[in-house]
Amino acid sequence: MIGITSYGAYIPWHRIDRQNFVKAWGGFAIPGERAVASYDEDSLTMSVEAARDCLGDTDPHTVDGLFFATTTSPYKEKQCS
């Protein structure tokens, strides 16, 4: 089959209250919280989780292509090292 047949998503577990942004930078905040990546999560590790969600119970050997595109590619070495 040609085209997009499935998609996946991953949202980091950690949350920060939007009021913390107001305390740090002033202004106003939309009520609620924001998802934030953990110290060991980057765009590549989060995309792996999204790919796992995308595949679900699908046999990986039946997949013809899986593509990763980002503007925030991880560095060769971890930033926190």
How many structural domains is the chain composed of?
1
Q: What are the two backbone dihedrals, phi and then psi, of residue 28, each rounded to the nearest 5 degrees?
A: -130, 160
Residue 26 Rama label (left phi>0; alpha psi -120 to 50; beta) = left
* pTM, rounded to two decimals: 0.70
Would 81 be classed as within a structural domain?
no
In a domain, 42, yes or no: yes
Q: Hey, CA dihedral for 15, 16, 19, 21, is it positive or negative?
A: negative
Rg (CA), the chain: 17
Residues 20-74 have pLDDT tens digits of: 888 888 877 788 888 999 988 988 899 999 999 999 998 988 888 888 888 877 7
Query: Model confidence over 23-33: pLDDT tens digits?
Result: 888 877 788 88
In Å, what is the CA distance from 25 to each residue of 20, 28, 30, 31?
9, 9, 14, 16
* Residue 21, domain extent: 14-62
Q: Does residue 35 sit in helix, strand or coil?
A: strand
29 in any annotated domain: yes
31 assigned to some structural domain: yes
